Amino acid sequence: MTLPDAPTQPTILGFDPGRDKCGLAVMGQKRQLYYHQVVPTKEVIATIQALCESYAISLLVMGDQTTAKPWKQQLSQELAPISIVMVDERYSSLEARDRYWQMYPPTGFSKLLPQGLRQPPRPVDDIVAILLIERYLHLVSSSNL
């Protein structure tokens, strides 16, 4: 796995757990996006370990729905020194589809379709992971006001 230059500041790892595939994202505390990828479930622990070695990850933020509890338990055992925070992931898949089109604007005939009818051409679990980090940062900044 080739990773971009690692930031020197602490970063947050976003994790959207799933049965077959998982979304991962690494973001700085000032919302700089360093990495995002959809990873097969069987490769996710090794990928997270590689990300932890490459980035100064201070926290893992994960969704709280479907497979969250067993994943949190497994991650706590495999990645002992990292704190894990669970955030509400309701409606994150719908929001991720909209965000996909902001990040990757449609081209050709697809831009003529209304956004609600467009389907991203790939899974958006990594974008869900980005949104989970943003939700966490929003909660933290709201509670500091």
Output the domain CATH number for residue 79: 3.30.420.140
At 133, the amino acid letter reads I
Q: Which residue has the tokens 């929003």?
A: 138
Q: Express each pLDDT in 79-95 by its tens digit.
A: 878 899 999 999 999 99
Is the full-model pTM beyond 0.85?
yes
pLDDT recorded at residue 145: 54
Establish if 109 belongs to a structural domain. no
Q: Looking at per-residue confidence, does 36 or 142 come out higher?
A: 36
The pLDDT of residue 133 is above 80 = yes
Report the domain count for the chain: 1
What is the extent of the structural domain holding 33? 11-91+122-143
Alpha carbon 53 to its chain's center: 17
Pairing of strands 83-87, 21-28: unpaired
Q: What is the pLDDT of residues 8-19, one digit of tens each?
A: 578 999 999 988
